[in-house]
Amino acid sequence: MASPSLAAAAASPLTSLDRATSPDTGSRPDGADAVARRKRPVLLLDQRQHLSSPNLDSSVDVDAAAAAAGVAQAQSETPRRKKPGHTSSSTRPRCQTALSVAAKNAVLLAVLLYVGDLAWRAARPAPPRPVDQAAMAGYDARVADVEASLARAFRMLQVQLEAVDRKIDGEVGAVRGELAALLEEKRLELEGQLKRLDARADDLSDALGALKRMEFLRKDEFDKFWNEVKESLGSGPGTEVDLDQVRALAREITMGEIEKHAADGIGRVDYAVASAGGKVVRHSDAYDAGKRGGFFSSLLSGDTAASPKKILQPSFGEPGQCFPLQGSSGFVEIKLRKGIVPDAITLEHVSKDVAYDMSTAPKDCRVSGWYQEAHNEAYSGHAASAKMYVLTEFTYDLDKKNVQTFDITAPDVGIINMVRLDFTSNHGSSALTCIYRIRVHGHEPVSPGMSVSQS
């Protein structure tokens, strides 16, 4: 931008130079000076005021300065009129004028260059500042520190999470162990209760079985029995029975039962008794009396004690008066005194009240029978035509009486004269099984035409 002082400088050298070069300056009268000052161009002063306005643009200032410089140069080159009667001063040298113009043009060029530089800087943004490597290094260091801090925080968080997981796993394992122990305890308790319930169920089943086996007197049977009692007492159906008469009848019945017991203990005919012709024809291996020791050696010594005939004779309840068979299973075959229709089998063992050891008593038994022809009485085995049939199966119970009778359960049993007793177990002894007495009950055929069983 052009300054107002530049225009003043452009005009002032000429005035000062004219004054310096004028030879008649000192001798010029005041009136001539006044005339000369009045001849100065007014346009230059107006141009100075115009150029000194700060509100104009730089381009307008430059043009005004150029115009002012041209006017000043034209006025300087115009020869001044000399007043008549005065001698004019020497004219301005051309070299000085050229230097003045060159100086002004240089100033104008400098102004133009300055304005162009400002315009160029305004049109083109400033180039980016060069990257500060030190600042970048510091920024990278701070970023690395932040990343390292985040990594440490992550590792600490991971360690804490692992610790929490281990703690949770430990607590869960402890709870699982406690729950498993509680479930096991409850399971064992439940199993114990179930076992006790099974035992009670077994006891109830046994009780029901015993109840079923008990022979209860039905109402019709009781009425029949009561009518027989009245008839025995000589009373009619509608008459009252005296208590003394009932007592006398009970005494009579009791005496009859005592006589039956005195007859053979149970008051039933035994077709296998040795004194009437029954005999043991075959049996399993007998327990060797020579190998016995202690109690059995003293009780069962000699041939008489080891004879199978003992099971067909009364034992009178004496411990040791039995026929011992080896092991916990065996058999005995008996030939009856004659052919009969069997009704029941009686198995006898020593009473538990006087027994030394009840483990030798037989337990699970099976009775079979068949008829053996007369020409085969010299029995050495089963005849080819003989067929054996199972008559009954039973279990000898130690909780009942020592003499136990079991009815024949096979239907339509004919005449038999051979009986076989098989026992498959006893009550605990693995060395021997003792049989005290076997009895076979039945009745003889009513007519010779009755069929003979081949069983």
pTM score:
0.44
Q: Would you tell me how many other CB atoms lie within 10 Å of the CB of residue 324? A: 23
Question: In sequence order, what E strands does 153-304 have?
Answer: 279-283
| DSSP letter assigned to residue 426 | B
Tell me, yes or no, whether 311 lies in a domain: yes
CATH number of the domain where residue 337 is located: 2.60.120.260
Parent domain of 231: 224-262
Claim to verify: residue 275 and residue 248 sit in the same structural domain: no
Return the pLDDT at 56.
40
pLDDT, tens digit, 9 for 90 and up, residues 379-406: 444 433 467 889 999 999 998 888 899 9
Claim to verify: residue 256 and residue 273 sit in the same structural domain: no
Return the pLDDT at 155.
92
Structural domains in the chain (count): 2
Give the integer Cα–Cα distance in Å for 437 and 314: 7
Tell me, yes or no, whether 314 lies in a domain: yes
Claim to verify: residue 247 and residue 312 sit in the same structural domain: no
Q: Which of 241, 262, 283 is the last residue of a domain?
A: 262
For 400, counting Cβ atoms within 10 Å of its Cβ (0-12 exposed, 13-18 middle, 19+ buried), the class is: exposed
Tell me, yes or no, whether 207 lies in a domain: no
Claim to verify: residue 369 and residue 232 sit in the same structural domain: no
Claim to verify: residue 354 and residue 228 sit in the same structural domain: no
Claim to verify: residue 285 and residue 413 sit in the same structural domain: yes
Give the integer Cα–Cα distance in Å for 288 and 109: 159
Give the integer Cα–Cα distance in Å for 439 and 314: 10
Claim to verify: residue 409 and residue 312 sit in the same structural domain: yes
Estimate the share of the chain in helix, then strand, then coil, as percent rounded to the nearest 5.
50, 15, 35
Give the integer Cα–Cα distance in Å for 342 and 338: 11
Claim to verify: residue 255 and residue 278 sit in the same structural domain: no
Tell me, yes or no, whether 231 lies in a domain: yes
Return the pLDDT at 412.
83
Claim to verify: residue 393 and residue 362 sit in the same structural domain: yes
Tell me, yes or no, whether 434 lies in a domain: yes
Tell me, yes or no, whether 71 lies in a domain: no
| DSSP letter assigned to residue 68 | H
Instruction: Assess contact for 368 and 422: CB atoms under 8 A.
Output: yes
pLDDT, tens digit, 9 for 90 and up, residues 163-217: 999 999 889 989 998 999 999 999 999 998 998 888 888 888 888 777 777 666 6
Q: What is the mean pLDDT of each run of 10 residues along the chain (455 residues)?
A: 43 42 43 48 44 44 56 53 47 83 91 90 76 84 92 92 91 90 92 89 81 70 76 65 76 73 73 90 84 47 63 80 92 94 92 86 94 61 60 92 91 90 93 93 72 43
